[in-house]
């Protein structure tokens, strides 16, 4: 892996992964970050990386749905491996506007797989990043394993499921060196504040209402983003070609519990709120998400058993780090929320 193309490297998980690879691992090669810079991207979060690693980090603004731009990136930088994060990732947006999800998540993945297939003599790995949402919803018992049948319920998860199937089919049919990982809900630094945890942290700090869909008893399995990064890197290095690995945090919680934990933590760190006695009073039950999956839970036994991976953070330790990160980075929050970041993107990459 000398010239590793990372798609979506300016989004939440992709940029955490690039930071991790370049600053904490034995990775010696060059990273080519290929990103369209949608609303979800914060390329400014990698400014220090591009300054510190001018020879090992390259940025290309490009759309994976644009096959000619993609192919020229593969050839200009002699790409020999790919880690594919780029996606439209927010379930609520897929409900109001599925088109972009089909375009990026399905057509974009197809273009990447074609580019890899055409360069099979030099490409050693296509790592496809996916989600536990492809498996659908669980009842009160049980876990998703690598053998669980796909049953996606939102346009987002259906588009990710399609891309997983394409990746698998390209391995089986053409021998493309594919690995797939399906991960549970991530949280941590640099997450765009449309997702539950950063949204609630920022609203709670500002004493604004905390929207909870339905009865708040939907369950998600939470994994600190750096633990996702360590898992992906282990799989990329030592996982078996053609295999799928589930990644989870064994951190199953009802949404209401997540929100209450954040409220209590911020009451402790920042002091009591002024408008209410406790931030828990800001909770506001709102209309449910259509097709809202009830419970996700991941069995990561294969990853742990075969590759010895373990997450480092518990939900409490990861959440504390996350809340502190948002408290200590008001400029990032302001940048992302103000629309100033769109202007910054146009100035730098327009
Ligand atoms: P994100 O929305 O924060 O970032 C997505 C990135 O992809 C952005 O930088 C965006 O500009 C880029 N992108 C979007 N469309 C593109 C296109 N057509 N061409 C090139 N770049 C494009 O997403 P995230 O939360 O970092 O998720 C990254 C990946 O991980 C996704 O594939 C997602 O399905 C998967 N995943 C996410 C989670 C989670 O909890 N966030 C959990 C499991 C799996
Ligand atoms: O499971 C992995 C998936 O996790 C990833 O594939 C997706 O890319 C990622 O966005 C995430 O999807 P979710 O829909 O689970 O994440 P979100 O943060 O949007 O919602 C988490 C839970 O909180 C979910 O049950 C819906 C609920 N929710 C969400 C928001 C934004 C609320 O109750 N209120 C809210 O305002």
Mean pLDDT by runs of 10 across the 350 residues of the chain is 97 98 98 97 96 97 97 97 98 97 98 97 97 97 97 98 98 98 98 97 97 98 98 98 96 96 96 95 98 97 98 98 97 89 83
Cβ atoms 117, 73 nearer than 8 A: no
| Ligand 1 proximity of 260 Cβ (cutoff 6 Å) | no
| Ligand 1 proximity of 85 Cβ (cutoff 6 Å) | yes
State yes or no: is 132 an active-site residue.
Answer: yes
State yes or no: is 133 an active-site residue.
Answer: yes
Output the CA torsion sign for 231, 234, 237, 242: negative
Give the ligand with the smallest distance to the CA of 209: 2
Note if the pTM is more than 0.95. yes
| Ligand 2 proximity of 297 Cβ (cutoff 6 Å) | no
**φ, ψ for residue 185 (rounded to 5)?**
-65, 125
pLDDT at 340: 80
Q: Which of 8, 36, 115 to mutate to test the pocket of ligand 1 (most atoms within 8 A of CB)?
A: 8
State yes or no: is 150 an active-site residue.
Answer: no
Cβ atoms 14, 82 nearer than 8 A: no
Q: Is 125 helix (H, G, I), strand (E, B) or coil?
A: strand
pLDDT at 303: 98
Q: How far is the CA of 92 from the centre of ligand 2 (A)?
A: 8
pLDDT at 341: 79
| Ligand 2 proximity of 185 Cβ (cutoff 6 Å) | yes
Output the residue whose Cα is nearest ligand 1's atom 19: 63
pLDDT at 338: 85
Q: How far is the CA of 195 from the centre of ligand 2 (A)?
A: 6
pLDDT at 344: 81
Query: 132, 164, 234, 260: which is the annotated catalytic residue?
Result: 132
Output the CA torsion sign for 311, 302, 128, 337: negative
Nearest ligand 2 atom to alpha carbon 132 = 1
pLDDT at 133: 98
pLDDT at 136: 97
| Ligand 2 proximity of 138 Cβ (cutoff 6 Å) | no
| Ligand 1 proximity of 101 Cβ (cutoff 6 Å) | no
What whole-number distance in Å separates Cα of residue 100 and Cα of residue 244?
Answer: 26
| Ligand 1 proximity of 7 Cβ (cutoff 6 Å) | yes
Domains of the chain (ranges plus CATH)?
Answer: 3-191+222-252+292-315 (3.40.50.720)
C-beta pairs of 190-193 under 8 Å, 24+ apart in sequence: 190/12, 190/15, 190/16, 190/42, 190/45, 190/332, 191/12, 191/225, 192/11, 192/12, 192/39, 192/40, 192/42, 192/336, 193/333, 193/336, 193/337
What whole-number distance in Å separates Cα of residue 133 and Cα of residue 135?
Answer: 5
pLDDT at 251: 85
Q: Residue 125: beta bridge partners?
A: 81
Q: DSSP H helical segments within 125-224, as ranges?
A: 155-174, 196-205
């Amino acid at each position: 892996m000398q010239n590793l193309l990372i798609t979506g490297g300016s989004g939440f998980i992709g940029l955490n992964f690039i930071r991790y690879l370049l600053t904490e691992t034995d990775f010696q090669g060059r990273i080519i970050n290929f990103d369209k810079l949608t609303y979800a991207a914060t390329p400014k979060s990698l400014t220090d990386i591009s300054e510190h690693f001018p020879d090992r980090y390259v940025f290309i603004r490009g759309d994976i749905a644009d096959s000619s731009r993609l192919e020229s990136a593969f050839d200009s930088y002699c790409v020999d491996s790919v880690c594919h994060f780029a996606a439209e990732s927010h379930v609520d947006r897929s409900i109001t506007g599925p088109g972009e999800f089909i375009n990026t998540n399905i057509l974009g993945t197809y273009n990447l797989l074609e580019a890899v297939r055409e360069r099979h003599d030099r490409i050693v790995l296509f790592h496809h990043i996916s989600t536990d949402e492809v498996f659908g919803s669980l009842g009160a018992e049980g876990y998703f394993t690598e053998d669980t049948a796909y049953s996606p319920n939102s346009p987002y998860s259906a588009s990710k499921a399609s891309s997983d199937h394409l990746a698998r089919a390209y391995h089986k049919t053409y021998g493309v060196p594919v690995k797939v990982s399906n991960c549970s809900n991530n949280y941590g630094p640099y997450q765009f504040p449309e997702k539950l945890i950063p949204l609630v942290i920022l609203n709670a700090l500002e004493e604004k209402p905390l929207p909870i869909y339905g009865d708040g008893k939907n369950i998600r399995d939470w994994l600190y983003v750096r633990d996702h990064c360590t898992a992906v890197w282990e799989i990329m290095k030592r996982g078996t070609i053609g295999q799928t690995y589930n990644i989870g945090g064994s951190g199953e919680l009802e949404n209401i519990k997540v929100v209450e934990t954040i409220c209590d933590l911020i009451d402790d760190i920042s002091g009591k709120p002024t408008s209410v006695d406790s931030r828990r009073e800001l909770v506001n039950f709102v209309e449910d998400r259509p097709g809202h999956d009830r419970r996700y839970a991941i069995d990561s036994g294969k990853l742990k058993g075969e590759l010895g991976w373990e997450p480092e953070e518990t939900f409490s330790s990861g959440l504390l780090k996350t809340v502190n990160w948002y408290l200590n980075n008001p400029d990032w929050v302001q940048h992302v929320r103000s629309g100033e970041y769109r202007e910054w993107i146009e100035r730098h990459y327009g």
